[in-house]
Amino acid sequence: MSSSVSSSLHLASWVHYSCSSKFNNRSIYSSNCLMFNPLREKPNSLIRKKSNFSNTPLISAVNLTKGEKIIKEAEEENTQKEMSFDFKAYMLQKGNFVNQALDNAVTLKEPQKIHEAMRYSLLAGGKRVRPILCIAACELVGGNESMAMPSACAVEMIHTMSLIHDDLPCMDNDDLRRGKPTNHKVFGENVAVLAGDALLAFAFEYMANATVGVSPARVIQAITELAKDIGAEGLVAGQVVDILSAGLSDVGLEHLEFIHVHKTAALLEGAVVIGAILGGGTEEQVEKLRKFARCIGLLFQVVDDILDVTMSSQELGKTAGKDLVADKATYPKLLGLEKAREFAEKLNTEAKEQLAGFDAVKAAPLYALAEYIAHRQN
């Protein structure tokens, strides 16, 4: 591992703290690959020095050296077919397929109340970015939609669980989600907790039982990957550090990046990686797509922070300005709005760099999804 640190303390002088290692499919993140922040003299005690996370490098809020050149070369190689890719039609078609699959997977049965609560949040709409990423990654490496759909649904079930629990009074205490009252406002806190629990359990059951056309070894690998992504060293880790950070006055960029690499990026990364695994991707392909997903996962959060201070609750479909009121650390707060936007563009560039070695036509959906995440308005 190596790092290069400028002596200047200005934002423009940040440098990339990078690390690399042999691909290890038993781990996801490394706290050693987090952003180096020269404005912080001491590491926060909430962030461990060592972890079992993957050593995949993660872009930080720093200058890129080769990403734009690689992307330009990749764009020049795009075929006319790829250039005419209809992203809106693709998202509508895939989203409809996902919605139908979710509707078929979680049906009304006894006890009816819990299944109503599960379906209320699961079928409440949403962009379906995570399941579509799963399908697109599968198709990119040679698989097909049917191989990935059960896992794509499982990812969305887990994402919905995280939203139900996140909105609870003991967590973020939110009343609005996807333009509708949150689950606990409709069904009560007790049923909301159990609805999230049920979605989490059923996600793995459905993934194991409904996947077809994939070897058992790859199904087990995908299940293991997803479990790690959402557990105590993945999504839950980010959520816990976020909770413990409430009220702290010295939350810096490294600390903030740790939270969001785990809390937000982990499940997006899992969606892409399990899609690549199920589609028959090689270790090299899976690793490149892991890096792609890591970047768009963090990008998703940076854009979320920007939208929180630039859009209304009506535009977002959820409570706007909540982080500002709670005085939480966000990228616009720590970097300023313009620097946060620049960071988002750098993450977008780094993500698309990872797609340069794939077939341009097959990579078009992921390329377009990165653009969508970077420039979405809600």
Instruction: Kindly state the average pLDDT of the residues 176-186.
Output: 93
**pLDDT tens digits for range 261-283:** 999 999 999 999 999 999 999 99
- What the block records as the tokens of 32 is 């050693």
Is the confidence at residue 319, as pLDDT, over 80?
A: no
CATH class of 85-375: mainly alpha
Instruction: Kindly state the average pLDDT of the residues 9-18.
Output: 31
1-15, 118-132, 235-249: range with lowest mean pLDDT: 1-15
29-33, 203-207, 338-342, 354-358: range with lowest mean pLDDT: 29-33
When pLDDT is cut at 50, 70 and 90, the band that residue 21 belongs to is very low
Q: What does the pLDDT read at residue 341?
A: 93
When pLDDT is cut at 50, 70 and 90, the band that residue 329 belongs to is confident
The model's pTM: 0.77
**pLDDT tens digits for range 294-310:** 999 999 999 999 998 88
Encode the chain in three state secondary structure: CEECCCCCCCHHHCCCEECCCCCCCCCCCCHHHCCCCCCCCCCCCCCCCCCCCCCCCCCCCCCCCCHHHHHHHHHHHCCHHHHCCCHHHHHHHHHHHHHHHHHHHCCCCCCHHHHHHHHHHHCCCCCCHHHHHHHHHHHHCCCCHHHHHHHHHHHHHHHHHHHHHHCCCCCCCCCEECCEECHHHHHCHHHHHHHHHHHHHHHHHHHHHHCCCCCHHHHHHHHHHHHHHHCCCCHHHHHHHHHHCCCCCCCCHHHHHHHHHHHCHHHHHHHHHHHHHHCCCCHHHHHHHHHHHHHHHHHHHHHHHHHHHHCCHHHHCCCCCHHHHCCCCCHHHHHCHHHHHHHHHHHHHHHHHCCCCCCHHHHHHHHHHHHHHHHCCC
Is the confidence at residue 67, as pLDDT, over 80?
A: no
Q: What percent of the chain has pLDDT over 90?
A: 63
What value does the mean pLDDT of the chain take? 81
Is the confidence at residue 4, as pLDDT, over 90?
A: no
Q: What does the pLDDT read at residue 378?
A: 73
Q: What does the pLDDT read at residue 367?
A: 95
